[in-house]
Amino acid sequence: MSTFEIINLIIAILALIISTVSILHARKTQTSFLELEKVHVELSKKQLEEISSIEILKNKTNLNVTIYNGSLLITNIGTAKARNIEINFADIKLDCIVLSEKNKLPYPVLNPNEEFKLVASYHTKNAPQLVPIKIQWENMDNSPGEYEGVLQP
């Protein structure tokens, strides 16, 4: 074998080694990239689900009811309007709302952070100690909303 052939063979072997290392490195990089892409897809799915749930919650609200100075105070503590608000009592005997105030129900619209008052007589001696109450309303997406609780005058 001549010197030229030996140099040619060494160059070919070096090229083969460099190509093999390069292919192995590329395969490793591609595997890492595919794993990263899978993580990105999962993260994107979770972000879309979160955005979707936030959009749904934008059309729903929460109401709270308290007894203040013997009257019922209904407050919209949510981020959307509540419509057609109704109040029901577990026992009709626990309903101490003044008769003229009942004409306000169903309350047409209660905006976020607003409240309305129903004059009642929960500050008298004859008032019950605990008042199970249920409030029902329509959310902006026409889904029903409900709050059940027990008030203590």
Q: Tell me what the mean pLDDT of segment 51-79 comes to.
A: 84
**Average pLDDT of the residues of the chain:** 86
Which amino acid is located at 146 in the chain?
Answer: E
Q: What are phi and psi of 96, to 5 degrees?
A: -105, 15
pLDDT digits (tens, 9 = 90+) for 66-78: 888 878 889 999 8
pLDDT confidence bin for 16, thresholds 50/70/90? very high
List residues bridging with 65 in a β-sheet: 74
pLDDT digits (tens, 9 = 90+) for 114-150: 999 888 876 666 666 777 889 999 998 888 999 888 8
Q: What is the pTM of this model?
A: 0.62
CA dist 129 to 111, 116, 133, Å? 31, 23, 13
E-strand ranges in the chain read: 63-68, 71-76, 82-89, 107-110, 115-118, 131-138, 144-151
Both ends of the chain: CA-CA distance in Å? 108
CA 125 – CA 142 distance, rounded (Å): 40
